[in-house]
Amino acid sequence: MLTGKKITKRFGGLTALSEVDFEVRRGEIVGLIGPNGSGKTTLFNVISGIYAPDGGDLFFEDRKITKLLPYKRARLGIGRTFQIVRPLTNLNLIENVSTGVLYGRKKTVGARGAREKAMEILAFTGLTEKARHLPGELVLEDRKRLEIARALALNPEILLLDEVFAGLNPTEISSAIELTFRIRDTYGTTIFMIEHVMKAIMCTCSRIMVLNFGTKITEGPPEEVANHPEVISAYLGAAYAAC
C-alpha cells in the first residue's frame, strides 16, 4: 500500500535518513521505533510531504508520490497526527473536526452534514460529552483523541500516528490501544505508528521497524524485534514492556 525505496533526507551535513526501505501493507498496524533523533518523525514528514527527500522514491497504491504536494497526498488518503497536537484553538471540538470533514476526501453537503459526521467521529473517539469544549479545556488524553478525530475526518486510507500514547497513564494507554484496533477494524484504516511506549507497540503491531541514526537496523514481528541484539543495545535495554 505504502512503499519507500532508499529514502534519504539530509539537513546540511546531517543525514537524518539514509537509504531507508520500507513497506506497509493494507490492513496492517506497523510500528516504528528507535532512539530520539533516529529519524522517525522525519520519515513521517517525508511520507506526508512536509519534507522532500534528497534521495529515493515513495509509492502509494503503486502511484509514485515522491514530488506530490502534502494536500494532494492527503486527498489520496494519507492522514497523520502530530507529536505536538495542533488543534484549531479558537474553535470547539465539533468545529475542529467539521473542518477536516469539509475539506477531506469525501464531499459533504453543507456545514450541517459536516457537523453530523464530526459528531459521529467524536462519538467514536469518546469525546461526545466534550464536543462543545475548546481544545484548551481538555486533559492530555482527550487532546490526543481530538488529534486522532481530526485525522479521521479526512477519511484516510492510511493513518500515520506520531506518539499518540506519549504521556498517558497505564489505564489511558490500554484505552488508546483499544481505540487503535477499532480504527483499523471499523474504518478499514491501515496504521503506521511511531511510539516509545513499548507496551503499546508490543500489544498493537503485527510488525515493527527500527531506526537508529537514520538507518533501518531491523524489522519483523514484535517478539523477534524485541530480542534483536542491535535493538536491545540501541534502544530497549535489557528489559521491555510486554502485554
**What is the pTM assigned to this prediction?**
0.91
Domain boundaries, the chain: 1-77+160-243, 86-155
Q: What is the CATH number of domain 1-77+160-243?
A: 3.40.50.300
| Strands across the sheet containing 29-33 | 78-80, 158-162, 190-194, 29-33, 207-212, 215-220
Name beta bridge partners: 215: 212
Per-residue pLDDT in tens (0 to 9) along the chain, 243 residues: 999 999 999 999 999 999 999 999 999 999 999 998 999 999 999 999 999 999 999 999 989 999 999 999 999 999 999 988 889 999 999 999 999 998 888 766 688 999 999 999 999 999 999 999 999 999 999 999 999 999 999 999 999 999 999 889 999 999 999 999 999 999 999 999 999 888 888 899 999 999 999 999 999 999 899 888 888 877 766 555 455
